[in-house]
Every structure is written in structure tokens, then in C-alpha cells.
Amino acid sequence: MTGFSTTKVGLSIIVPILNEATVLPSFIETLLANSFYENQLIFVDGGSVDGGAEYISSHEKCTLLKSEKGRAKQMNIGAKAAQFDLLYFLHVDSIPPKNFDRHILEKNRQGEKAGCFRMQFDSNHIALRCTAFATRFNNRFCRGGDQSLFIDKTLFNQLNGYNELYQVCEDGEFIDRIYKQNGFCVLPQKIITSARRFEENGVWQLQFHHGIIHLMRSIGCSPKRLSKYYSFFVK
């Protein structure tokens, strides 16, 4: 693992992966091209069998960690290996804007300890355009993991990181706790998120199931029940 000086500026970027070999080369290339600083790139594999982990392991700019399956567990493991004071959690389906790290660090210097970007899908489907439009509002009900998340490492540890009981909605549950304790900022630049999972499941169908899951969580359904619903209805 490459060492980073405590005086060096950058982010510890943490990306959970599971069988994402087909998108990793272009994802990493674009991520590096959009970076202003030399960031720490941490990929946490949850048991890939498609060669993705081996690709990361051979990449000179990346650090590979292994974990049990589950994004909450994977992201917590990545956070423990972070060498910068600011963590940035990112999904492989989402590409942050040009100079994203510079935008984040500028907000952090202004006193913001946690936040995300607005989001735009790589699709013109009306339902996805409406979902993306809502991400400009600074409300916890408009948040999701595909918008990415930056957070001060001290605050992350104070909140005890992601709740590993959650196999789905781990991002929403964690962001709820951030809003309650610290507040949150939404950067005006847009992160571009792939619509591939919506296209695989049907846009309206997946939107419906996401809505049901969020409703279930809001009325107190257990993480196990949320996971059972998701695994039954979503590919």
C-alpha cells in the first residue's frame, strides 16, 4: 500500500465491488482523469469470481482489500485503511464530476463535514430524470448511495460507521444518522450514474420496489426483512 503523508492533500476513496470486472477499467481510468489530487484508491472486494479483484490487485494506483459480502462491511473495512482525514464512498456505477476531489475539499475547508453531489442518470427516462432532479434538495429523503458520500473520518468513527446488519439501504440508514447529528451539504456539481440496473429490472418496476423498501424502513421493518424483500424482487 502506498504511504500518504499527513500533510498531503487528498481523499481516501472507498469503492465496494462484487463481480464488476467489465466496468472497472473504464471506471478507474475516468476516476483518475477526473481527479485533481493524488488520492488513495481503496477497492474492497466482497468475493468476486469474475477476475475483478485480480485486476484491481495488479493496478499500481489501487489498493485491494478483501471482505465478506455486504457493502456496509466492505465500506467499513475500507474506512479502517484510510490514510487521509476525509473519506469518499463511491459506487462503480457512478462517475464523479471533473475535479470532484477539489470541490469536496473546498467544502470541507469551509466547515462541511459530510455531503454528496447532485446526481444525473445516463438515461433520459422520465422517471429517472425526476429522481435525479430531486437530488438537488438538501433533504434526507432525497439521498442515496449512488450520489456518493464524503465524510470526515472523525465523524465517521463517532457514528460507528455503516450498520452491518443492513444488506440493502445501508447508505440511507447511515445518511439519516449523519443528518441527525451533524447536518449535510449537497454540492451543485453532478455525479453521473449508470441506469443499467434500472434497465435490467425495468425502470418503473425498480422505482416501485425502491419506494416499497424505503417505506418499509421508515415504518421500522428489520434489516433482514428489507433484504429478503429486495432479494426476492430485484435481480
pTM, full prediction? 0.94
CB count within 10 Å of CB 46 equals 18
Please provide the average confidence, as pLDDT, over all residues in the chain. Answer: 94
Per-residue confidence of the chain (235 residues) as pLDDT tens digits?
Answer: 445 545 689 999 999 999 999 999 999 999 999 999 999 999 999 999 999 999 999 999 999 999 999 999 999 999 999 999 999 999 999 999 999 999 999 999 999 999 999 999 999 999 999 999 999 999 998 998 899 999 999 999 999 999 999 999 999 999 999 999 998 999 999 999 999 999 999 999 999 999 999 899 989 999 999 999 999 988 7
Can you give the pLDDT at residue 5?
47
Domains and CATH numbers, the chain: 12-233 (3.90.550.10)
| Burial group, residue 146, by CB count within 10 angstroms (0-12, 13-18, 19+) | buried
Rounded (to 5) percent helix, strand, coil in the chain: 45, 20, 35
